[in-house]
């Protein structure tokens, strides 16, 4: 090999190496890009799955909200109210509803999921169920509202069971307000609280059966917002006694 041929060979070899290097670099860049794109697609998908799962797992409130905002004609999406009765397990029931359109009666249809127990905390003489019913039916009780008031001899109903009331202090979308039937037990001084307690247990059992709920669906106001209510029952440690009494009135 003469000197000139050697020079050309080196030049050619260098050129070949350079071309190979450029080709290899381009291939490598393309590969990396493809991989990055694949990762991005994967991430996007998993983010999507994640979001979708969250929406599904958040079934309680958001689904509830969807139910309540559907047209009233699709009755399958909210609880159909129990038949009308004028007594519950022998206790007279008077229906005296809060006027439609007042603050305490938004008229929102919903699915019943809980029976929520309260006490009125009202220890003034004469503050039985009828007294509370008059106040609520006047539409002047502001936004606070509930479904039943029970005393030692009668029950008043203030809202249809399948309408939202504001009694749990857990907000407009809270599960207590959105899906609970609120029962207030009177603590009026002339009333016999043990009878009120017993009447409320009978009403609770009746509602559990009417809406195919279980004892686990009986809750205290406290469970939804931490308020010390039903105060007397909580103070005297009578909650388990109440649940047991409800159970004795369940027919199944
Ligand atoms: Zn309460």
Mean pLDDT computed over 84-91: 97
Q: How far is CA 16 from CA 9, 12, 104, 121, 187, in A?
A: 10, 6, 86, 94, 99
25-49: per-residue pLDDT in tens? 654 555 444 333 333 333 222 222 2
How far is the centre of ligand 1, averaged over its atoms, from the C-alpha of 171 (Å)? 14
pLDDT of residue 145: 97
Judge contact between 218 and 114, C-beta under 8 A: yes
Q: What is the pLDDT of residues 109-163, one digit of tens each?
A: 999 999 999 999 999 999 999 999 999 999 888 999 999 999 999 999 999 999 9
Q: To 5 degrees, how large is the angle CA 222–CA 118–CA 116?
A: 75
* Distance in angstroms (rounded) separating the CA atoms of residues 92 and 133: 14
Burial 7-46 (b: 16+ CB within 10 A, else e): eeeeeeeeeeeeeeeeeeeeeeeeeeeeeeeeeeeeeeee
Residue 54 confidence class, pLDDT cut points 50, 70, 90 = very low
Q: Do residues 111 and 73 make contact, with C-beta atoms less than 8 angstroms apart? A: no
Distance 117 CA to ligand 1 centre (A): 7
Q: What is the pLDDT of residues 156-211, one digit of tens each?
A: 999 999 999 999 999 999 999 999 999 999 999 999 999 999 999 999 999 999 99
Which pLDDT score is estimated for 160?
98
Q: How would residue 52 be classed by pLDDT, with cut points 50, 70 and 90?
A: very low
How many Å lie between the centroid of ligand 1 and the Cα of residue 170? 11
Give the pLDDT score at 2: 65
Q: Tell me, in angstroms, the distance from the centre of ligand 1 to residue 229's CA.
A: 5
3-class DSSP state of 115: strand
Ligand 1 ion: nearby residues, β-carbon < 5 Å: 118, 221, 229
Q: Dihedral angle at the C-alpha atoms of 26, 27, 29, 31, nearest 10 degrees?
A: 160
User: Which has more confidence, 91 or 22?
Assistant: 91
Residues 4 and 100: their CA atoms lie apart, in Å, by: 106
- Confidence label for 24 from pLDDT (cuts 50, 70 and 90): low
- Stated pTM of the model: 0.71
Number of Cβ atoms within 10 Å of the Cβ of 155 = 24
Which residue, among 208, 236, 239, 240, has the nearest Cα to 221 in the 3D structure? 239
Between the CA of 121 and the centroid of ligand 1 the distance, in Å, is 8
| CA–centroid distance, residue 239 to ligand 1 (Å) | 14
pLDDT, one tens digit per residue, over 203-234 is: 999 999 999 999 999 999 999 999 999 999 99
β-pair type (180-185, 155-157): unpaired
Count CB atoms within 10 A of the CB of residue 107: 14
Q: How far is the CA of 168 from the centre of ligand 1 (A)?
A: 6
SS3 62: helix
Give CA–CA dist 220/84, Å, rounded: 26
Centre of ligand 1 to C-alpha 221, Å, is 5
CA of 235 to the centre of ligand 1 (A): 14
Measure 5 CA to ligand 1 centroid, in angstroms: 102
């Amino acid at each position: 090999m003469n000197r000139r041929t050697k020079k050309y060979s080196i030049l050619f070899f260098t050129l070949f190496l350079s071309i190979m290097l450029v080709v290899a670099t381009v291939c490598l860049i393309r590969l990396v890009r493809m991989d990055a794109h694949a990762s991005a697609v994967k991430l996007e998908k998993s983010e999507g799955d994640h979001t979708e799962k969250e929406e599904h797992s958040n079934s309680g409130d958001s689904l509830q909200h969807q139910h309540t905002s559907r047209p009233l004609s699709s009755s399958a999406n909210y609880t159909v109210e129990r038949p009308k009765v004028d007594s519950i397990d022998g206790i007279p029931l008077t229906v005296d509803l809060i006027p439609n359109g007042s603050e305490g009666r938004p008229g929102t249809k919903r699915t019943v999921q809980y029976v929520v127990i309260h006490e009125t905390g009202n220890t003034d003489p004469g503050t039985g169920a009828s007294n509370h019913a008059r106040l609520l039916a006047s539409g002047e009780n502001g936004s606070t509202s509930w479904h039943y008031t029970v005393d030692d001899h009668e029950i008043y109903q203030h809202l249809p069971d399948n309408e939202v009331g504001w009694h749990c202090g857990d907000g407009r979308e809270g599960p207590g307000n959105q899906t609970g039937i609120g029962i207030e037990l009177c603590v009026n001084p002339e009333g016999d609280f043990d009878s009120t307690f017993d009447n409320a247990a009978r009403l609770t059992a009746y509602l559990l059966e009417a809406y195919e709920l279980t004892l686990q669906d009986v809750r205290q106001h406290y469970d939804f917002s931490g308020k010390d209510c039903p105060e007397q029952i909580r103070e005297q440690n009578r909650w388990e006694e109440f649940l047991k009494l409800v159970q004795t009135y369940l027919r199944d």
